[in-house]
Amino acid sequence: MAPALAWPEKIDLSLHRSMLDIGGGSGAHCIGAVTRWPKLNATVFDMASVCEVAREIAAEHGLTGRISTHVGDLWKSTLPEADLHFYGMIFHDWPPDKCRFLAGKSFAALPGGGRIIIHEMLFNDDRTGPWAVAAMNITMLLWCEGQQYSGSQLSEMLRQAGFEKIEVIPTFGYWSIVTGVKP
């Protein structure tokens, strides 16, 4: 929960009204965002069984009026309307071509002025560390198709999709956000 509460303090989301947490799991990042930004509502976009858990957790936090769920498949489903797309520890599950697909899908779905945020543990730009990220990278390489990326790698994926005003912002421990805005 700590990283989910930290990143919303590092970026101004006052212009955004609806956050879509793609592959949102428990909804922890939605809780962090709506708690910090009172005009923001959020939706967890995930599988049905995961959405059920996210609804329970939102209720435990008294946020059912501000956090909803939407069942879908991030590869096949149309993304619900939102002006902010959030991916928390999702890109590291996938190889670069699939990450570029997700960035492009968000770019196509977001309105002008819409923002994408990718929350990950990032390698430094030469991918030599930090050690904890390198250790996580070994796990990702063994466990799934993905890997840990550097801020410059994710920034380039966003740039290729068409995003502008791209920033890499450290948030908590080894976590950072990479964000861009659709012109």
Residues known to be catalytic: 92
Q: What is d(CA 26, CA 69) in angstroms, rounded to the nearest whole number? A: 10
DSSP for 37-59 reads: -TT-EEEEEE-HHHHHHHHHHHH
Question: What is the C-alpha to C-alpha distance for residues 3 and 155, in angstroms, rounded to an integer?
Answer: 20
Which run of H or of E encompasses 134?
helix 131-143
* Cis peptide upstream of residue 80 (ω within 30 degrees of 0): no
* DSSP assigned state of 34: H
Helices 96-109 and 151-161 meet at what angle, rounded to 10?
50
